[in-house]
């Protein structure tokens, strides 16, 4: 794992964006894995103003809340539409997303694994980091899931996502669909972006702690090509 420590949040997101843009320039048919959350907003802003040929690119988002349609203003799909998809020339057929309102969630998870496999897997996966060490919605637990699955969210994760739902954490669905560890660990390259003091503990556990399902991000230590992009605050607990 290479670690880039930048001065602040803006510098960290600019570095991550530069990495994605460079990849898309050399690999115009890349398959991107994309996160939501407040951290990548600056990355999406940079991607939407950069000169990029999107015509051959495909994207797969990591996760979506269960029980709400893509048109719901608090869905991750709505977030991605607002921050990236409506600002770039990427057709709807190139955008992969889990449907939180699918009638059969298990079938929806299986469908998603199959379409990512059919695309050849993820070339460049960008990840945020939960303060509790989650990636996507792979939450700390006794065991992890390889496949895409329906996760039960911890209350602290629902609190961390309350801003998506007007501030009330009880309004955040208690379940979400998320890709599992297989598509994360089999991505060709992974870029993790984490900023702010609230992420310092998780950054240290992820990069230097034991491999444990109690910190899903720790499994990224087994991956050959992970770049961790942090600001000074998030790097504070790295030894």
25 versus 163: smaller Cβ distance to ligand GLP = 163
Helices (H) and strands (E) in the chain, counts: 7, 10
63 is catalytic: yes
Catalytic, out of 134, 161, 183, 231: 134
Is position 128 an interface residue for ligand GLP (rule: CB under 6 A)?
yes
Place of tokens 């240290």: 204
Q: How far is the CA of 90 from the CAs of 24, 140, 217, 229, 230, in angstroms?
A: 13, 34, 30, 26, 29
132 included as an active-site residue: yes
Closest to ligand GLP by CB, 56 or 166: 166
For position 35 contacting ligand GLP by CB under 6 A, the verdict is: yes
Query: Would you call 223 a catalytic residue per the annotation?
Result: no
CA separation for the pair 113, 182 (Å, rounded):
9
CB atoms within 10 A of CB 120: 11
**Which residue, 102 or 153, has its beta carbon nearer to ligand GLP?**
153
Stretch that binds ligand GLP, among 4-12, 14-22, 35-43, 141-149 (CB under 6 A): 35-43
Out of 161, 181, 202, 229, which residue is the one contacting ligand GLP (CB under 6 A)?
161
| Residue that has been written with the tokens 């034991």 in this structure | 210
Size of the site for ligand GLP (CB under 6 A): 15
Choosing from 100, 130, 140, 180, the residue that interacts with ligand GLP (CB under 6 A) is 130
Q: Indicate which residue of 64, 108, 139, 233 is catalytic.
A: 139
Minimum distance, C-beta of residue 146 to ligand GLP, in the bound complex (Å): 18
In the bound state with ligand GLP, the residue whose beta carbon lies nearer, of 27 and 38, is: 38
Q: Are 100 and 64 in contact (CB under 8 A)?
A: yes
Q: Give 26-93 as a 3 state SS string.
A: HCCCCEEEECCCCCCHHHHHHHHHCCCCCCCCEEEECEEECCCCCCCCCCHHHHHHHHCHHHCCCCHH
Strands 175-178 and 63-65: antiparallel
- Which range, of 15-23, 50-58, 156-164, 225-233, touches ligand GLP by CB under 6 A? 156-164
Distance from C-alpha of 31 to C-alpha of 58, rounded to nearest angstrom: 5
- To the nearest whole angstrom, how small is the minimum distance from the Cβ of residue 14 to ligand GLP? 16
- Catalytic (active-site) positions: 63, 132, 134, 139
Residues that bind ligand GLP (CB under 6 A): 35-39, 62-63, 128-130, 136-137, 157, 160-161
């Amino acid at each position: 794992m290479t670690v880039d420590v930048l001065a602040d949040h803006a510098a960290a997101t600019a570095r991550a964006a530069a990495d994605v843009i460079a990849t898309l320039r050399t690999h115009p048919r890349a398959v991107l894995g994309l996160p939501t959350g407040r951290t990548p907003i600056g990355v999406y802003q940079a991607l939407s103003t950069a000169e990029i040929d999107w015509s051959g690119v495909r994207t797969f988002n990591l996760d979506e809340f269960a029980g709400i349609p893509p048109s719901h203003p608090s869905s991750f799909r709505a977030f991605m539409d607002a921050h990236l998809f409506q600002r770039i020339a990427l057709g709807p057929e190139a955008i992969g997303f889990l449907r939180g309102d699918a009638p059969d969630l298990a079938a929806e998870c299986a469908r998603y694994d199959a379409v990512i496999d059919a695309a050849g897997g993820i070339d460049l996966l960008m990840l945020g980091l939960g303060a509790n060490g989650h990636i996507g919605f792979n939450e700390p637990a006794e065991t992890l899931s390889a496949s895409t699955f329906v996760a039960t969210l911890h209350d602290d994760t629902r609190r961390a996502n309350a801003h998506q739902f007007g501030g009330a954490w009880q309004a955040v669905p208690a379940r979400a669909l998320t890709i599992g560890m297989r598509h994360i660990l089999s991505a060709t390259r992974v870029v993790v972006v984490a900023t702010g003091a609230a992420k310092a503990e998780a950054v240290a556990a992820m990069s230097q702690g034991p491999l444990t399902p109690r910190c899903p991000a720790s499994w990224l230590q087994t991956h050959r090509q992970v770049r961790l992009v942090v600001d000074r605050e998030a790097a504070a607990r790295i030894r």
